[in-house]
Amino acid sequence: MPPKINPAKLNPLQLRTLTLLQAIARIPEASRPLEDGGIAITQFPHSHGDHFHLGDATVRGSDATGLENQNVWNALTRKGLITSEWPSTLALTPEGVGYDTGIADQILHRGGHH
């Protein structure tokens, strides 16, 4: 039986936010690994115009509204995917690092400047 898609029942905004946090976690200058297998986010991206860059990907600002939304942080914390202290610290838990959102290719646009 294939793994269940979205087992934590994240809503679309929560899925987009977790996907972006996972992408930020792969950028060494913006994150640091934790002893428990999680990853602390040490720097959020800065937008210019209607988009911003995460490594080699471009992200529309409209896909990133959850990064600055306390309710989204609280929901992801309740579901065990992040630990956080709004608005200053956030870390992906090992479960958050490994969660397959299934939408990375939809919001992380690669190749060329958009």
- For the stretch 22-67, pLDDT in tens is 999 999 999 999 999 999 999 998 888 899 999 899 999 999 999 9
pLDDT digits (tens, 9 = 90+) for 71-112: 999 999 999 999 999 999 999 999 999 999 999 999 999 975
User: How many angstroms separate the CA atoms of 76 and 70, rounded?
Assistant: 10
**Closest by CA position to 109, among listed 54, 65, 67:** 54
Domains annotated for the chain, with CATH where assigned, are: 12-110 (1.10.10)
Coil, helix or strand at residue 54: strand
Tokens, residue 38: 């999680």
Contact 52, 60 (CB under 8 A): no
12-25 helix and 70-78 helix, angle to the nearest 10 degrees: 80
Dihedral over alpha carbons 104, 27, 82, 84 (to 10 degrees): -130
